[in-house]
Amino acid sequence: MDEFDVLVLGGGLSGASAALRAAQLGGRVCLVEKARIGSQGFQRRNALCIEELASSASTPSWVEYLSVLKAETESYSTAWQEKLDAEGVTVVEGVGELASASEVNVLKPDGGYLLIQGKSVILAQGSKPRFPATLPYEAGVVIGIDEVAELPTLPEKVMLIGGGAIGIEAALGLQKRGCKVFLCCEQNELLPEMDEEFNVEIERQLKEKKIKLLVGKKLISFYKKQEELEITLETGIKFSVQQIIIAGDRLGPEASVEMEKLGIRLGEHQKIFVDESMLTSLPGVYAVGSITGSLTSDTLSQEQGRIAAENALGKNRKLNLEWVPQTVRLSPVVSYVGCSMKTAGHQGFHPVSGVHDKETLTSKSSPELKYCEKFKIVADKRSRLVVGVQIISHSSAEWIPMFFLLIKKGVTVANLANANHSEGTKIKGLCEAARNCLRALKGP
């Protein structure tokens, strides 16, 4: 029997990140994965957004587009494999199953079994779309977001169910590919983590792209009429589409019964309960990624994996969702980190904010084409420290990691407001937002 310090079950982004971090800390690590490292999650996240990674993806044909996606997926998987190899991670191909708090049983491609032992186990097998009873799965008609990259053609009209970054990016990606998109979200805001004025601007962006938004709406029924699906929402809204894609709810691991027998506590829809250290109710067993209940962003998947790996090797790390930089691939890009005005109070802060809006020309040759940039600084009134940043700008994905570090280092509103910068640079918008925040701090 092979023995390791850490066993990682699943080679998606969260699992690969966990394995890499554990190896970097000096642990002997084994990663069990049935497919190419990271490939399934990468395709799901980028099936409709590959233009952001490869300019050659701007092709008229969906078949050509998929060939670019396949090539990018291969490159991504190869890069991860090389990282893991360089750190000495043992990768075992096969379908793994938790056998005990310290053992994983692997069904190998040749049909044989391999039992691997470790001091700690990190579960990262991912999840599947959850189809409600009123909207059961039907091949080619009602599908999950995971299947988009397998579609031979795209529908002319499609309904996406689910908000957040996944739903927003998928809606924009489908619209770019020529689909008429209806985006249905039961929540009252597409991005509840961001403040109201940013949700308003995001909705404006999507409406400008002719995406029909159905925010705060719930599907009541649908029926198939020849090639069309007749949709009815709870408010009486009716329309027809050719396909429904579930981009939100997820279903936990298939081996949930066996996990419960081992002592792992599961919640609704088989999701695995974890604490802030990513530890399950079974000592020595951690869980990361969508197996804990929902699809996660790239940055959150990586952070969960790293936290689980560090705790598995004796460190003491806790996950704070608000301190994970997040980016949504709209145009311009939406990014945020830290507290919003809605959440700062929960962290013990007395929040004050400053906002700066700026209209920018898309090109000098087309002065009528403009886009809106928005910058927001959230600060604590007592300490005057910056505790949150929200940005809508083409440069926000590059700025937000830096501002996360500044927040962690304790940058004050005055520091940011008086920062030196060249005229016309993107940081000017954030400095203006900081100045407005400083005025609010000095106010009555």
Mean per-residue pLDDT for 382-386?
96
Q: Say what the pLDDT of residue 367 is.
A: 47
Q: List alpha helices for 101-211, DSSP H.
A: 164-176, 196-208
Give the chain's domains with CATH numbers.
2-128+250-319 (3.50.50.60), 131-246 (3.50.50.60), 326-442 (3.30.390.30)
Q: Say what the pLDDT of residue 366 is.
A: 46
Share of the chain above pLDDT 70, in %: 93
What is the rounded distance in angstroms from the CA atom of residue 37 to the CA atom of residue 76? 8
What is the rounded distance in angstroms from the CA atom of residue 221 to the CA atom of residue 216? 16
Mean per-residue pLDDT for 402-408?
91
Mean pLDDT, rounded, of the chain? 90
Mean per-residue pLDDT for 49-71?
74
Give the tens place of pLDDT for each residue, 425-437.
668 889 999 999 9
What is the rounded distance in angstroms from the CA atom of residue 171 to the CA atom of residue 160? 7
Residue 117: is its pLDDT beyond 80?
Answer: yes
Mean per-residue pLDDT for 161-180?
93
Residue 58: is its pLDDT beyond 60?
Answer: no
Does 401 sit behind a cis peptide bond, omega within 30 degrees of 0 on the bond before it?
A: no
Residue 53: is its pLDDT beyond 80?
Answer: no
Mean per-residue pLDDT for 295-308?
93
Mean per-residue pLDDT for 216-230?
88
Q: What pTM, to 2 d.p., does this model score?
A: 0.92
Cα angle 399, 329, 138; round to 5: 155
Q: Say what the pLDDT of residue 423 is.
A: 58
What is the rounded distance in angstroms from the CA atom of residue 216 to the CA atom of residue 198? 17
Q: Say what the pLDDT of residue 224 is.
A: 86
Residue 50: is its pLDDT beyond 90?
Answer: no
Q: Say what the pLDDT of residue 444 is.
A: 67
